[in-house]
Amino acid sequence: MKLINVDSLSGGEVLAQDIVCEDGTMLLKRSTRLRQAFKDKLLERNIYKVFVTDNAVDPEKPNPIISKETRNLICEELKKQFILVKDKIAVDPEVMNEIASILLDQIPESQAAYDIKDIHVNDMCTYEHSISVAVLSALVSRKLNLPPDLVHQVTIGALLHDVGKIIIPNDILNKPSKLSNPEYEIIKTHTTLGYQMIKEHTGLNPISKLIVLCHHEREDGSGYPLNKSDDLHIAAKVVAACDILDALITDRPYRAAMPLNQALLILRGEKIARDVRKSIEDLLEFHPIDSIVLLNTGDIATVESNHSNNLRCPKVRTIYNLKDNQYVSKKIDLSKSTDICITKKLDLNETLNKIIKSQPLVF
């Protein structure tokens, strides 16, 4: 049995359990063979995921969005482009467009949620980091409904965002201990150095150049190099957030990679755009402690703790069952349950409304 997004149903899958609506009515019975036409029916009823039978898929194994072969190919091409920049030769816009198109073609448009292990490769190499940031930025841009042209430019900008590091000395970039203040100041110059090196490249779009310059800016002006707090372009905001997250979950010479749930909590403390952060959390199905969720059992529950590498299955405590119209306090570790899952995030108003509506009217 596996849990899949309704969005990605291709038809023919067999339901592994009954689908019961929030009001307790049976929508589809176990063993039903799903048809494309059921998709809308499910989505209309706020059912975003279903369990289907499948013995062949191992959920623990990565299922990379970008195949290893494509990733290696892009890595090699990107390396060549960085060297061109270092040699004061313009990047090849056709190659950059081609790389971005290959990436975007491999990223499914319809899937609502992703596992980080399918996006990110834990590798300190600048090129691997750039590819992971580009994939995540493309996903976030699509989640934010940015126009396709802009998503393409964001992807190119994300691929090139750290191009300035090509002229930062390796002994500073790979220093195995904490950087001194002067060394940190040198690292910070990679934004302006990168921008200066590519700003005259006529084939490169202005948004991608802006990303190279502004991917370390923050919403409150605490970033660099411009300390810009207003009018920061959405493209730079997206790459800034994805860059922080990818850096946190990657091993560094001076520290080990952080578990994803911790990294996402740190991201919450960063001065980044709220809508961008929310898109990242939705994509990765992060339900922070105390958030309220609806389970496929009809239970409204609060999240009590997260598993570091299985964000979609936190430990929860139920509050109220909409099917039985009663308050129930029960602890469930969703990672240990094969048939209970989160179907929806709820906010406080939505939660109260659902509970109030489920109560019989007394006159």
- List residues binding Fe ion (CB under 5 A): 162, 243
Total Cβ atoms within 10 A of residue 308: 11
> Rounded to the nearest whole angstrom, what is the least distance from the CB of residue 197 to Fe ion in the complex?
14
Nearer residue to Fe ion within complex by CB, 100 or 340: 100
Phi, psi of 240 (to 5 degrees): -60, -45
Our CB check for Fe ion shows the closer of 115 and 162 to be: 162
With left for phi above 0 and alpha for psi between -120 and 50, is residue 31 left, alpha or beta? left
Q: Min. distance of Cβ 286 from Fe ion in angstroms?
A: 21
- State which residue, 115 or 243, has the beta carbon closest to Fe ion: 243
Which residue blocks in the chain are alpha helix, DSSP H?
38-44, 68-86, 93-106, 126-143, 148-160, 170-173, 181-188, 190-198, 206-214, 234-248, 260-269, 274-283, 348-358
Judged by beta carbon, residue 132 or residue 296, the one nearer Fe ion is 132
Q: What's the rounded Cα separation, in Å, for the pair 239 and 201?
A: 21
Distance in Å, CB of 273 to Fe ion, minimum: 17
Minimum distance from residue 212 beta carbon to Fe ion (Å): 9
Q: How far apart are CA 328 and CA 358, in angstroms?
A: 14
- Distance between CA atoms of residues 230 and 225, nearest Å: 14
- Which DSSP category does 64 fall into? -
Residue 215 CB, shortest distance to Fe ion, in Å, is: 6
Our CB check for Fe ion shows the closer of 216 and 277 to be 216
Q: Which residues of 113-124 are buried (b: 16+ CB within 10 A; e: fewer)?
A: bbbbbebbbeee
Query: Residue 129 CB, nearest distance to Fe ion (Å)?
Result: 6
Q: Which is nearer to Fe ion, 128 or 162 (CB)?
A: 162
Cis peptide before 225 (omega within 30 of 0): yes
Residue 71 is inside which H or E element, if any?
helix 68-86
Shortest distance, CB of residue 86 to Fe ion, whole angstroms?
16
DSSP 118-175: GT------HHHHHHHHHHHHHHHHHHTT--HHHHHHHHHHHHHTTGGGGGS-HHHHT-
Q: Which is nearer to Fe ion, 13 or 243 (CB)?
A: 243
Are 168 and 304 in contact, with CB atoms under 8 Å apart? Answer: no
CB of 312 to Fe ion, least distance (A): 27
Instruction: Please name the helix (run of DSSP H) or strand (run of DSSP E) that holds residue 47, with its range, or none.
Output: none
Query: Toward Fe ion, which CB reaches closer, 77 or 162?
Result: 162
- CB-CB contact of 346 with 300 (8 Å): yes
Task: Specify which residues 4 forms β-bridges with.
Answer: 50
Residue 166 or 313 with smaller CB distance to Fe ion: 166
Q: Which residues pair with 305 in a beta bridge?
A: 315
Shortest CB 194 distance to Fe ion, Å: 8
* Per-residue burial over 140-156, b = 16 or more CB atoms within 10 Å of its CB, e = otherwise: bbbbbebeeebbbbbbb
